[in-house]
Chain A
Amino acid sequence: MKKYVFTLLVAATLGSIKTAQAQQKAYETTVDGVKVIVQPSGNNIVEIQTIIKGGVANYPASKMGIEALAMSALTECGTLKHDKNSFKDALDRVDATVYGYTSKDYSVIRMNCIKTDLDVVWPLYTEAITQPKFDTAEFSRIKQDAINSLKERDSQPDAAIDKMANQVAFANRDYAKEPQGTPAIISQLTAAETKAYYNSILTKSRMFIVVVADLDRSVIEAKVGQLLATIKKGTPVEMKKSFFRVYNNSFNEESRDLATNYVEGVTSGPELDAPDFTAFTIAMRIFANRHFLDIRTKNGLSYAPQAWFSNGATSVAKFSVSTTQPNKYIAVFDKLVDSTRKHGFTPAELADMKVTYLTSFYYKNETNGAQASSIAANEVLHGDWKRSLTLISDVNKVTLQDIDNAFDKYIGNIVWVYQGDIKKVDPTLYKNGTLHQADNPVSY
């Protein structure tokens, strides 16, 4: 069953109109004060995501990793009714998924099963959320696994360069915290401390639930009511938004024994509620096409040139390549940005991107999991889950002037980071720019 393939590239993208044709209309309901968003699925798969808001704002830098470890412990350290093995064996028997994970802005406790198995899986899901045991022996085991995982992730060049970019760009901000923590912090965490932390964030005030499944409303409300019965109310949390702007170009490097070199840049982007948020999103998607064309097609400088808008409490634009010619890359990049700022995008590029958004919207609707994740992200970040369904109409309102202005406004100085052969790169090219303009060496 295992397949090894080498791909040309990944051109898939996510954007967000109406529901897929086999589906009924989505709705929201409130159960015991908690918002429940339901998207009927038109298939026999059940996807449920319980969201806990807060992310890196929930803990200090000295405890980063604690929420990730808590999420892992929910399904790996037993419950009050099941030890770890009987819990996992019961899920195995019906090939169901229950696990928790965390990101910079929120955590997700996810359940996926075949509809006919729901009565087996749902009680296990509620146990994991409301009655986790945090068994100390199992907790020691998952700490070691978490440390292994951190080191394994740091051995993956794409993950490592992105982590370095975040740490340098977001220094002294919440976003500098790594949700997975560090080996040093993880090794010091105790089961009791992590359990207490989990209990502190498990409040109705931080929660909402997404259901993508063909289940009767009454069934959903009864099950969710049961889930919430023992969870305390808590106090509401607000997302701490933080605008990011770079005032000088910078370049940080790290020598690594890699077969090629990895470069990533971070610059500004609109905040989540900014009026030009959608325009900038489109601008970056079109810029990504241009970046691909110039870096890969025309100049053969990289297999995987990427440019994207990373949005969250702190939203930024990012650019990355792996290349054996980092000095040539920055020269081509500078010219491309300069040209885009001077001449803007074309009507055809905008028209084509609107068509691509439509394809991407339906593509996302192919699976219950992807739909649930999109609904969850829009509810956390924009306070509007319906944006997952209406984004296309927002996209269609965007004009050429809007995207040109947004690109011009946010793409400025850049925090660059580099991993690989440091003899191959000239930092001054990244810090001073390569366009050699008289008064201001950095033209953007």
Chain B
Amino acid sequence: MTPKIIKSITLSIAGLLFATCSFAQLRLPQGYYWKQLPNGLQVLVIENSKVPLATIEIAVKNGSFTEDSVYNGLSHLFEHMFFKANKDYPTQEKLLKRTQELGAIWNGTTGTERVNYFFTFDRDSLYSGLKFLNAAIRFPIYRIEDMQKERVVVDGEFQRAESNPGFQLDFEVRKRLWTDQFTRKNPIGIHDIINTATPEKMMVIKNKYYFPNNSLLTICGDVHHEEAFAMAEKIFGDWESSGFDPIQKFPIPAFKPLTKDNYFIKESTIAQTPFMDFAWQGPSYLTDSASTIAADVFSTIVGLNSSKLQQALIDKGLASGVSVSYETSKYVGPITVFVVPNPNKVKECYDELMKQLSMWDDPDYYTDAQLADAKAILLRDDMRAKEKPSSLPGQVSFDWCSTSLNYYTDNTDDYQKVTRADIKRYLETYLIGKPYVAGMIIAPDLNKQVNAASFFVAK
């Protein structure tokens, strides 16, 4: 007993120091309140009385970035099993019944760097809702028979995605972009791994990542922060810390940079409209957070109707859609250019896109007015993003997992500070002349006419 008591005290002191020192510079928007419990659990309360509801969310730094080929897809299966059975609700039927009694709207998601679980219900059900969440996150029950059924369900989700040509293309692009670390960027997983998962593997995940010191509890809505903190502490306060930082203990291997361009064409009878997808390895928050901000500003510029890109492809009828995006990530986020070409002008569309990409290092590729417009859009996007209270926990936790709370708070102001030099550095570091993956999905009949292989190749 003694060592455990000493360990707990040490952790508590460490937690207090962590709370008072490391977070001394924590910045939060108005109405947001943060506290770290002695066990390491960070609790964020967002007071927003727009409607008399409360939304609670627990986010865990888990997801495909923690998965090698033996575990790929199991953070996602784990997320499903969260809703299956626990010590208070020993069957899913009873668990679902409880969500119905609470009148809850609920869901869970698994991405590359975050797994989250969230519930919205009447504000007066806050205590009951937190109790429910506590039982599910800390005391799950994994039965063989439950897992056998849920494996089929999760694989069914995978099969639904595979029935979609956009997913098929994206999946193949990601395989080539991340090469031997593909599993770290593939939340949906691998069929065989999903279909052979065991309760033991669920416990391995739980014992690595499901600890208060690797989690963020957010309580948002028509709530008072002091009451909410008190409830959180009462219910989650005895959840024991792991005593280690899971991400330090189980480090994430570095992504191997691409060495050359990689083109492929995938024929599919269900792709009634062709798609083209181009991807680069982009910035990491950990090593180049400034470029993650510049990336969003640049993506917004080239999304403007007036941009050279939109005018060349959309205005001229070469494509129905073209979008440039960067996925903010702690560990190397992808930059993608997704194009829906006019099926009658696939080659012309591709040639024009290549021409556009070749001009991205030209200082005149965008104007000062377009840079200002992009910033104005990002400012208004932030106002819109904050319109729906129940969506706020998910927005904050995404940044908590992939960047930081300060990043979330400063994000919109930081967009306003981006300069041409920032964008230039971003483009030169990650895009211009850098190897990329290019994929096209096209119906066999159309490909006979188009002969995509004659032009859609690495130069």
Chain A residues packing against B (C-beta within 8 Å): 1-13, 20-22, 42-45, 85, 88-89, 92-95, 114, 117, 140-141, 144-145, 148-149, 151-152, 154-157, 256-260, 262, 289, 292-293, 296-304, 322-324, 348-349, 352-353, 355-360, 362-363, 365-368
Partner of B315, one of A85, A303, A323, A360: A85
The residue among B109, B270, B342 with the most chain A CB atoms within 10 A of its own CB is: B270
Within 8 A of A (CB), among B248-278: 268-273
Alpha-carbon distance A85/B306, docked complex (angstroms): 7
Q: Are A44 and B100 in touch, CB under 8 angstroms? A: no
Alpha-carbon distance A357/B398, docked complex (angstroms): 29
Partner of A303, one of B103, B154, B268, B388: B154
B300 nearest CB neighbor, chain A only? A1
Q: Are A45 and B51 in touch, CB under 8 angstroms? A: no
Contacts A3-B398, A20-B51, A322-B160 given; indicate if A11 touches B153 (C-beta within 8 A).
no
Q: Are B373 and A93 in touch, CB under 8 angstroms? A: yes
Alpha-carbon distance A99/B195, docked complex (angstroms): 45
A-B contacts, 26 listed (Cβ < 8 Å): A2-B327, A3-B327, A5-B110, A8-B107, A12-B105, A12-B107, A21-B222, A89-B305, A93-B376, A117-B380, A140-B317, A148-B273, A155-B270, A157-B164, A257-B268, A258-B163, A259-B163, A262-B163, A289-B100, A322-B156, A322-B160, A349-B100, A353-B100, A358-B122, A359-B121, A363-B120
Within 8 A of A (CB), among B103-150: 103-112, 120-122, 148-150
* Closest-CB distance, B379 to chain A (whole angstroms): 8
Contacts A1-B325, A5-B110, A8-B80 given; indicate if A293 touches B377 (C-beta within 8 A).
no
Contacts A297-B92, A358-B103 given; indicate if A323 touches B156 (C-beta within 8 A).
yes
Contacts of B122 in A (CB 8 A): 355, 358-359
Contacts of B388 in A (CB 8 A): 366-367
Alpha-carbon distance A145/B340, docked complex (angstroms): 10
B451 part of interface (Cβ distance < 8 Å):
no
Contacts of A95 in B (CB 8 A): 376-377, 379-381
* Closest-CB distance, A374 to chain B (whole angstroms): 14
Contacts of B299 in A (CB 8 A): 1
B53 part of interface (Cβ distance < 8 Å):
yes
Contacts of B384 in A (CB 8 A): 45
B439 part of interface (Cβ distance < 8 Å):
no
The residue among B151, B305, B373 with the most chain A CB atoms within 10 A of its own CB is: B305
Q: Are B51 and A366 in touch, CB under 8 angstroms? A: yes
Interface bits B143-176 vs A (CB < 8 Å: 1, else 0): 0000011111110111111111100000000000
Partner of A366, one of B110, B158, B306, B390: B390
Alpha-carbon distance A324/B163, docked complex (angstroms): 12
A146 nearest CB neighbor, chain B only? B320
Q: Are B93 and A297 in touch, CB under 8 angstroms? A: yes
Contacts of A157 in B (CB 8 A): 160, 163-164, 270
B269 nearest CB neighbor, chain A only? A257
Q: Are A367 and B387 in touch, CB under 8 angstroms? A: yes
Contacts of A11 in B (CB 8 A): 99, 104-107
Contacts of A42 in B (CB 8 A): 50
Known: A4-B111, A300-B151, A348-B97. 9 other contacts (CB 8 A): A8-B107, A21-B50, A114-B383, A155-B273, A289-B96, A298-B149, A302-B156, A359-B53, A366-B388
